[in-house]
Amino acid sequence: MEVPETLMKFPYGLSDFGTLIQEGYWYQDRTDRIAPLEEAGRQLIFLRPRRFGKSLLLSMLEHYYDLNRAEQFAALFGGLAVGRKPTPLPNHYFVMRWDFSLVQAQGEVTDIEAALHQHLNDRITAFGQRYAEHLPTAIVIQPDNAISSWESALSAVSQTPHKLYLLIDEYDNFANEVLMANRDCSRSRYEALLYGEGLLKTVFKAVKAAAGGMGLDRVFITGVSPVVLSDMTSGYNVGENIFLLPQFNDLCGFTETEVGKVLAQLAAEGGDWSPTEALATMRTFYNGYRFSEDASESLYNPTLSLYFLKALGQQGHYPRRMLDENLAMDRNKLLYIARLPQGEDLLIEALSGDDRVLIPELVQRFGVEDVLRAVKDQPFMASLLYFFGILTLAGLTSFNECKLRIPNLVARGLYVERLREGWLTDPGDQRDWPGFVKRLGQQADLAPLCDFIESRYFRVLSNRDYRWTNELLVKFAFLTLLFDDRLYMAVSELETERGYADLALILRPDMRRFQALDLLLEFKYLGLKELGLSGDQVRSQSREHLAALPAVAGKLDEAAGQAAAYGATLRARHGLSDLRAFAVVALGVERLVWRAL
């Protein structure tokens, strides 16, 4: 297929605002939020998951307030909301920017401290060079004491009519490294940096002091979680947290209306794809984030959306993999939670259906000491997953509890992958099961997959200390083996007009050119006591004989009736012409019987 030349350029992986605007990249205007940010406070803290557009936000603020860019204001902002209605403060500040993600977080404490001093000194040196014509005195850099260099910069700034705006990106980089490593040596490094008179705490104390009449007027801090906020309270207790305020829910991220407009514009430039189908696909995989309890609209992940849109614009089709591998680190966060006591229970609860994870409220104030040593209850773990972007807010219960859910199919895939890796550890199993999945997806042959689950997978799951509820074990066995976003939109508890289908695997619109079937599976469970049979008796009988038993036949009829009803809805909703549906009944954790509809 010949790909039309698109006029739209998407800034995937680009976080420099000036380059984005000057080189004609598409930009979703968020400059109308500059005025509310100015009104919100002078020292702001804004948290969002990684790869959610925070660095571009900081770059936009940097270009807006930088006094050196006054002559560029019209070129940069003239076509944007704030250009049409500026605040009183454009190009009024010296701007300094720190990025703690660039600071080495490994090695001995002295190595990390040296790296932090070096980073701050490098930024202060660049600051002095950039604003040399405005500063009446030179900044003195102390190689082994960046705090002294900082004070020298403040002294120079204070001798001018302008004040300083400090931008800090990834303020919690150190804590995230410690959190993921979870090693005693990492903990000791973190404590040395932040506790007592540790260097990181001293840095934030210096920032706080500078705002007390030493020339620093505004601070904007971004990060992923509030872990460090608790530990640095005495060092920096003047920051205002705006990350849960509804007016800033979409400060980073795209709304559905915005994504729909981009797709319509892209489709108008040419291409053999449907903007309606593309929006439905993006909604399934990338939408669903809500960062404020009072927000009325969910958001699309901006990095994943740009990844999709760039592929669509440049290649004329969807990306082959719906998960951008730049987000692979999120797997480490799920691994951390899964290793905690009851951690896998939480992942299973979240996967079992929307709004199953309930907590009294988000935990917002916890230090690394709590992360490493405190009891990891569900509110603690669920709150961490919220800040990591792997759970999101879904509203409040009638008892004023927070409902949390997995935001979308990409995040759901991370959960499934983590559980499958923990349960399917034998190399032979990992080699064999994809072939069984292919038999089902191409030939509607369920037998090989059921044989595999009976002989190997049930043994793994039944031996784990989970409070399985009947058919939940069966559903998770199939879900973890069948989930594959390379071909499918695999959805557990998919809502239909007649209820909830247990597991539906609907081919992605762009994958219908391949030989693969749409699938629907409905599960039921019969305990051995209900059957009046022992495990040995169930294992020794044929599936045909077991399916004919009155109790089993009744369950098969029940599952088949539900599958038929759900299937009718799915065929109409997605225009499916060859949906294959199955009723599956588990007999304890010994055998599986099924009926193809």
> Which element (helix H / strand E) includes 495?
strand 488-496
Q: What is the pTM of this model?
A: 0.92
Token pair listed for 31: 């400059």
| Spatial contact of 454 and 590, defined as CB atoms under 8 Å apart | yes
**pLDDT value at residue 47:** 95
**Residue 216 pLDDT grade (very low, low, confident, very high; cuts 50, 70, 90):** very high
Token pair listed for 538: 């169930």
CB-based burial of residue 578 (10 Å sphere; 0-12 exposed, 13-18 middle, 19+ buried)?
exposed
Contacts of 58 (CB under 8 A, 6+ apart): 97, 167, 169, 220, 222
**pLDDT value at residue 329:** 59
Distances (CA, A) of 228 to 34, 50, 60: 26, 16, 25
> 205 or 473: which carries more pLDDT confidence?
205
**Residue 3 pLDDT grade (very low, low, confident, very high; cuts 50, 70, 90):** very low
| Spatial contact of 345 and 204, defined as CB atoms under 8 Å apart | no
**pLDDT value at residue 255:** 97
Task: Give mean pLDDT, residues 294-323.
Answer: 92
Sheet holding 591-596, edge to edge: 488-496, 499-507, 518-526, 579-587, 591-596
| Spatial contact of 334 and 381, defined as CB atoms under 8 Å apart | no
Give yes or no for residue 2 having a pLDDT over 60. Answer: no
Question: Is the alpha carbon torsion for 4, 10, 12, 16 positive or negative?
Answer: positive
**pLDDT value at residue 372:** 64
CB-based burial of residue 439 (10 Å sphere; 0-12 exposed, 13-18 middle, 19+ buried)?
middle
Give yes or no for residue 310 having a pLDDT over 60. Answer: yes
Mean pLDDT lowest among 326-330, 440-444, 546-550, 587-591: 326-330
pLDDT digits (tens, 9 = 90+) for 118-164: 999 999 999 999 999 999 999 999 999 999 999 999 999 999 999 99
- Which pairs count as long-range contacts for 506-512, CB under 8 Å and 24+ apart, including other chains? 506/570, 506/574, 506/576, 508/281, 508/318, 508/322, 509/273, 509/274, 509/277, 509/278, 509/280, 509/281, 509/318, 510/273, 510/281, 510/317, 510/318, 511/486, 511/487
**Residue 466 pLDDT grade (very low, low, confident, very high; cuts 50, 70, 90):** low
Place of tokens 């299937």: 567
From its phi and psi, is residue 503 left (phi > 0), alpha (psi between -120 and 50) or beta? beta
In angstroms, rounded to a whole number, what is the distance separating the alpha carbons of residues 348 and 357? 10
**Residue 45 pLDDT grade (very low, low, confident, very high; cuts 50, 70, 90):** very high
Give yes or no for residue 547 having a pLDDT over 60. Answer: yes
In angstroms, rounded to a whole number, what is the distance separating the alpha carbons of residues 174 and 104? 9
In angstroms, rounded to a whole number, what is the distance separating the alpha carbons of residues 183 and 191? 12
Mean pLDDT lowest among 287-296, 362-371, 406-415: 362-371
pLDDT digits (tens, 9 = 90+) for 332-375: 788 888 888 788 889 988 988 777 899 999 988 777 666 666 56
Contacts of 291 (CB under 8 A, 6+ apart): 48, 243, 244, 249, 299, 392, 393
How do beta strands 579-587 and 43-47 pair? unpaired
**pLDDT value at residue 469:** 57
**Residue 1 pLDDT grade (very low, low, confident, very high; cuts 50, 70, 90):** very low
In angstroms, rounded to a whole number, what is the distance separating the alpha carbons of residues 216 and 407? 39
Strand partners, 195: none
Give yes or no for residue 22 having a pLDDT over 70. Answer: yes
**Residue 309 pLDDT grade (very low, low, confident, very high; cuts 50, 70, 90):** very high
Average pLDDT score over the chain: 89
- DSSP structure class, residue 70: G
- Which pairs count as long-range contacts for 525-529, CB under 8 Å and 24+ apart, including other chains? 525/470, 525/471, 525/473, 525/474, 525/555, 525/585, 525/586, 526/551, 526/552, 526/555, 526/585, 526/586, 526/587, 526/588, 527/470, 527/588, 528/587, 528/588, 528/590
**Residue 201 pLDDT grade (very low, low, confident, very high; cuts 50, 70, 90):** confident
Give yes or no for residue 407 having a pLDDT over 60. Answer: yes
pLDDT digits (tens, 9 = 90+) for 218-266: 999 999 988 877 776 666 788 899 999 999 999 999 999 999 999 999 9
Angle at 221 between CA 308 and CA 305, to 5 degrees: 5
Question: Of 568, 431, 570, which Cα lies nearest the Cα of 504?
Answer: 570
Per cent of the chain over pLDDT 70 is 91
**pLDDT value at residue 223:** 94
- DSSP conformation letters of 118-168: HHHHHHHHHHHHHTTTT-SSPPPP-TT-HHHHHHHHHHHHHTSS-EEEEEE
Sheet holding 163-169, edge to edge: 93-99, 163-169, 216-223, 43-47, 240-241
In angstroms, rounded to a whole number, what is the distance separating the alpha carbons of residues 23 and 12? 14
**pLDDT value at residue 238:** 86
Distances (CA, A) of 168 to 149, 175, 231: 17, 15, 17
